Amino acid sequence: MLTIRAVGRRFPGGIEALRDVSLRLGAGDFVALLGPSGCGKSTLLRLIAGLDRPDTGALDWDEGHALGPGDAGFVFQDATLLPWATAEDNVFLPLRLRGMSRGRAMPAVRDALAHVGLGGFEGARPRALSGGMRMRVSIARALVTRPRLLLMDEPFAALDEFTRHKLQTDLLALWRELGCTIVFVTHSIYEACFLARRIVLMTPRPGRVTRELASTLAHGPDTRLDPAYAALVAEVSQSMERALEAG
Amino acid sequence: MKAAPLLFGLLALIAWEAVVRAADVPPYIVPGPVAIISAFAAAPLSLLAALASTLVVTFVALVVAALLGAILALAMSVSRLAQAAIQPWAVVLQVTPIVAIVPLVIIWVGYLVHSPQLSTLITLVVSATIVAFFPVFANTAEGLASAPPELGDLFRLYGGGRWQTLGLLRLPAALPYFLTGLRISGGLALVGAVVAEFVAGSGGFASGLAYTIQEAGFRLQVPRMFAALVLLSLAGIAINLGLGALARFVLRRRGMA
């Protein structure tokens, strides 16, 4: 759906966040952008979302794939909910900004909350929710417009490991069910290997794509114990180490 | 633990009375608590009337300062031009000692308003407003810019316009800041009302507590001065606690506290 061609981005102050980055996104992909901090993975995500523009290179959307409002959902590292609004109102926000009335939006809002396992929490304010539940609201908010593309910027990095594992499993189920494209930024090798079909390695200074690995991991109830998962983690770790040494 | 400040205050009062009596300090130098209470009891209505008049000035000034501060902060947040135009003047107002402005305010208001009673009231309100303006203004301005940038991104992503961002994000985010500013401004409005009255006198307008303190001072009625002072301090405490309670009430209802 998208071809990123030789994209570069330099911030005022001279920091070169991205240099010569090329990548193709296919419809239905689950891509992890993996790398240490400062490798430009978040910058790349913002470029894809249209929140920022490249200095050089281009993002070419395939015919009929260009993003309109609501075609992309964005999930940040923090849940970034409106603290004064209920879960329902937070999820309603994207539709509200597009001028949809509350009554017309409610079925979609309820549906999105139910999808992330928060049915029954419509009236709860963020303060009353745990970190994991807040992140679920944030994901529901991103899903409520039925986006073709879901962009996630280290969404689970601030959560405890048990909550993170649960959310990772649930995210995979959502991806399979909804069939949207997901670009998932992470600095966790385990997370990238567990979730993604394509793992894109990025290295810093300047930020660039070094390598891409494909995952053929078959997901079952105990994927984390699967030797194939361990092998993939080892392979990605070694590639990352080599890439960092070479850089 | 909660009773600690009360208990300490009570002990201090007892010690104060004891020292005054033991050393035989004349009440026109340092009156004891009993003398102060008797001074209040001797003329409670005149003191309470003075308190009421000071509170009227304080309250009106606070309302005007809150409206003005919020509106100007809002103007600054939607327009860079307004920000460039307003910001330096707000700082000028803040750093200029109010006592130095009051004589000017007296002249201008006296020129514009001919009824002496009204002109004094307006002078006091204007002066107190100037003192009270800055905290509510500065806090609201900060609050309007306080929403995390990610939320700004989110609004942009979904095509939220400038007014939607203002109404759905920046204004609600500014509310706790506004309330904090209001609380600080409340105390300052009282200070401003008193300072302005010291400078302006209260010719014509029902005299407030500052005038009471001055007048009692001229007559060496030191216990009455103390009584007026105690009322002022109680008023300050009440304003502070009241606005604090208001802030807690509002923020709890909004799920933000």
Interval A184-212: pLDDT, tens: 999 999 999 989 989 999 988 888 888 88
Tell me, what amino acid is at B149?
P
Q: Taking CB atoms and an 8 Å cutoff, what residues of chain B touch A155?
A: none
- Which comes out higher in pLDDT, residue B27 or A88? A88
pLDDT at A203: 86
Q: Which of A84, A93, A97 sits opposite B254 (nearest CB)?
A: A84
Distance from CA of A12 to the nearest CA of B (A): 18
Cβ contact A195:A30 at 8 Å? yes
Residue A246 has pLDDT above 90, yes or no: no
Residue A127 and residue B151: Cβ atoms within 8 Å? Answer: no
User: B203 pLDDT band (50/70/90 cuts)?
Assistant: low
Determine the average pLDDT of the residues in B80-98: 83
pLDDT at B81: 87
pLDDT at B160: 84
Residue A109 has pLDDT above 90, yes or no: yes
Determine the average pLDDT of the residues in B16-31: 90
Determine the average pLDDT of the residues in B225-248: 95
DSSP B170: I
pLDDT at A159: 87
Cβ contact A61:A1 at 8 Å? yes
Q: Taking CB atoms and an 8 Å cutoff, what residues of chain A touch B172?
A: 82, 84
Q: What is the mean pLDDT of chain B?
A: 90
Cβ contact B146:B177 at 8 Å? yes
- Of A236, A241, A186, the C-alpha closest to A213 is A236
**Candidates B146, B155, B157, partner chain A, best to mutate (most A CBs within 10 A):** B157
Task: State what percent of residues in chain A have pLDDT above 90.
Answer: 34
A208, containing H or E segment: strand A208-214
What is the four-CA torsion angle of A166, A134, A154, B160, rounded to 10 degrees? 140
Determine the average pLDDT of the residues in B220-239: 94
Q: What distance, in Å, lies between the first and last C-alpha atoms of chain B?
A: 24
Taking the alpha carbons of B147, B151, B156, B161 in that order, is the dihedral positive or negative? negative
Residue A106 has pLDDT above 80, yes or no: yes
pLDDT at A84: 93
Task: State what percent of residues in chain A have pLDDT above 70.
Answer: 100
Could you tell me if B148 lies within 8 Å of chain A, comparing CB atoms?
yes
Could you tell me if B30 lies within 8 Å of chain A, comparing CB atoms?
no
What are the extents of the domains in chain B?
Answer: 47-253
pLDDT at B205: 59
Give me the residues paired with residue A23 across strands: A4
Residue A84 and residue B168: Cβ atoms within 8 Å? Answer: no
Could you tell me if B88 lies within 8 Å of chain A, comparing CB atoms?
no
Residue A84 and residue B255: Cβ atoms within 8 Å? Answer: yes
Residue B159 and residue A76: Cβ atoms within 8 Å? Answer: no
Task: Tell me the C-alpha to C-alpha distance, in Å, between residue A7 and each of B124, B157, B177, B178.
Answer: 63, 21, 41, 43
pLDDT at A117: 87
3-state secondary structure of A16: strand
Determine the average pLDDT of the residues in B243-256: 92
Determine the average pLDDT of the residues in A139-157: 91
Residue A39 has pLDDT above 80, yes or no: yes
Determine the average pLDDT of the residues in B229-249: 95
Residue A62 has pLDDT above 90, yes or no: no
Q: Which of B148, B150, B158 sits opposite A97 (nearest CB)?
A: B158
Determine the average pLDDT of the residues in A148-176: 90
**CATH class of the domain at B47-253:** mainly alpha
Task: State what percent of residues in chain B have pLDDT above 90.
Answer: 56
Q: Taking CB atoms and an 8 Å cutoff, what residues of chain B touch A46?
A: 153
3-state secondary structure of B161: coil
**Candidates A82, A96, A149, partner chain B, best to mutate (most B CBs within 10 A):** A82
- Of A167, A169, A115, A162, the C-alpha closest to A141 is A115
Cβ contact B185:B69 at 8 Å? yes
Residue B202 has pLDDT above 70, yes or no: no
pLDDT at A116: 87
- Which comes out higher in pLDDT, residue A7 or B59? B59
Q: Which of B158, B172, B256 sits opposite A94 (nearest CB)?
A: B158
- Which comes out higher in pLDDT, residue A83 or A63? A83
pTM: 0.85
Segments in chain A forming alpha helices (H): 41-49, 87-97, 102-115, 131-143, 161-178, 189-195, 227-246
User: A61 pLDDT band (50/70/90 cuts)?
Assistant: confident
Q: φ and ψ at B224, to 5 degrees?
A: -70, -35
Minimum CA–CA partner of B170 in chain A: A82
Residue A93 and residue B158: Cβ atoms within 8 Å? Answer: yes
Q: What is the mean pLDDT of chain A?
A: 88
pLDDT at B89: 85
Q: Taking CB atoms and an 8 Å cutoff, what residues of chain B touch A83?
A: 255-256
Residue A63 has pLDDT above 80, yes or no: no
Residue B151 and residue A82: Cβ atoms within 8 Å? Answer: yes
Segments in B98-220 forming alpha helices (H): 98-112, 116-144, 149-157, 162-165, 171-200, 209-218
pLDDT at B206: 60
Q: Taking CB atoms and an 8 Å cutoff, what residues of chain B touch A93?
A: 154, 158, 168
pLDDT at A222: 79
Residue A247 has pLDDT above 70, yes or no: no
pLDDT at A18: 87
Region of poorest pLDDT, from A1-15, A20-34, B4-18, B143-157: A1-15
| Max mean pLDDT range (A67-71, A92-96, A112-116, A219-223) | A92-96
Residue A15, Cβ density class (10 Å: 0-12 exposed, 13-18 middle, ≥19 buried): middle
pLDDT at B200: 80
Residue B158 and residue A76: Cβ atoms within 8 Å? Answer: no
Residues of A with CB under 8 A from a CB of B: 46, 49-51, 69-70, 72, 74, 76, 78, 80, 82-84, 86, 93-94, 96-98, 125-128, 145
Residue B204 has pLDDT above 60, yes or no: no
> How far apart are alpha carbons B225 and B40 in whole angstroms?
10
Residue A72 and residue B157: Cβ atoms within 8 Å? Answer: yes
Determine the average pLDDT of the residues in A151-180: 89
